[in-house]
Amino acid sequence: MIEEFHYQIPWRTSSAHPGRHPGKHSGGEHDFQGHAPLISRPEAHNIDVHASLLDPFQQYVVRTFRQRSVINVTVIADLSASMGFQNKMATLAKFTEQTAYSAYRSGDHFGFMGCGEDIIPEFYMPPRWYKGGTAELAESLRHYHPASTNAKGLLTVQEYCPRHRALIFLVSDFHYPLQDIATLFDSLLKHDVIPVVMWHPDEYEQLPEWGLFTLSDPETGREKTLLMRPGLKKKIIQAFNAQREQLKHLFIRYGRQPFYLNDAFEADQMTRYFYEQ
């Protein structure tokens, strides 16, 4: 069974299609918007008796509502080689599957874009209503070995994003200069972007205390030999924490706290994330 999470947005979508989220259009009968004279809105079943009695002009007043609409939920994933570390792809697949399923269950449209040096056609799914989620996409993600040397494609995704403001999960390890991340977020300002930071504890917290090993960077091809010792491990963890702090400051500037995704991810964490906002 696919777990699902509940998401909510603090903005109104301009989409006209009926759905679950607050929209900008009038209509429906769930989201009270205000009062209007019966003359302008001849909807007798919406007459508000109390408001009509209190009306200084002694007109009949009807309640007006805003429509609830669908939104686009899009997952934009960084599929550069650094995402091949440990089981990050499996985690990404699981997250994508759950997001797609949650969107389906909310009646929302789901889209997916995987980016290497460019958008990878195999991992481009236009925003649609995918019935029952996207099991195939998850499956192919799970078996994908990212090999791109950068994730420049991310900077072009805004061209393929939905027209209306969408809820975007931007999944990446964000091992980039802050400047580049800021540029990326600038290009996506129109949308509600939730930064999903994929760090694996093996990258820093679970490194051994002692040891001699050579690490290779799959993107630049560079190598670094580390003579591991408790002091160095502490330094590495500190470096990651400093990066975490910097990322947090950057993301808050763009309106969302980062969500940290690792292999211990459970859908309920995401539900809680939305409640905490």
- Site for other proteins, rule CB under 8 A: 82-86, 88, 173, 175-176, 200, 202-203, 206-208, 211-227, 232, 235-236, 238-240, 243
CB of 180 to other proteins, least distance (A): 11
Nearest approach in angstroms of CB 135 to other proteins is: 27
CB-wise, 58 or 225, nearer to other proteins?
A: 225
Residues contacting 129, CB < 8 A, separation 6+: 104, 107, 108, 109, 110
Which of residues 64 and 172 has its CB atom nearest to other proteins in the complex? Answer: 172
State in angstroms the smallest separation of the CB of 116 from other proteins.
15
**Min CB(153)–other proteins separation in Å:** 17
Q: Fill in the DSSP letter of residue 13.
A: B
Query: Measured between alpha carbons, how far is 121 from 126 in angstroms, rounded to an integer?
Result: 11
Q: Which residues pair with 22 in a beta bridge?
A: 68
The single residue listed with the structure tokens 């540029």 is 183
Instruction: Select 88 or 256, whichever has its Cβ closest to other proteins.
Output: 88
CA distance 18 to 222: 52
Q: Smallest gap, in angstroms, from Cβ of residue 209 to other proteins?
A: 8
Please say which residue, 159 or 223, places its beta carbon nearer to other proteins. 223
Output b/e per residue, 47-81; b: 16+ Cβ within 10 A.
Answer: ebeeebeeeeeeebbbbbbbbbbbbbbbbbbbbbb
Residue-wise DSSP of 124-171 = EEEEE--TT--HHHHHHHHT----BS--GGGGGGGGGS-SS--EEEEE
Nearest approach, Cβ of residue 85 and other proteins (Å): 4
Half-sphere exposure of 247 (CA within 13 A, CB side): 23
The closest of 127, 128, 164 to 23, measured between CA atoms, is 164
Closer residue to other proteins in complex, CB, 9/250:
250
Q: Nearest approach, Cβ of 203 to other proteins (angstroms)?
A: 6
Pick the closer one to other proteins by CB: 108 or 173.
173
Q: Which is nearer to other proteins, 131 or 222 (CB)?
A: 222
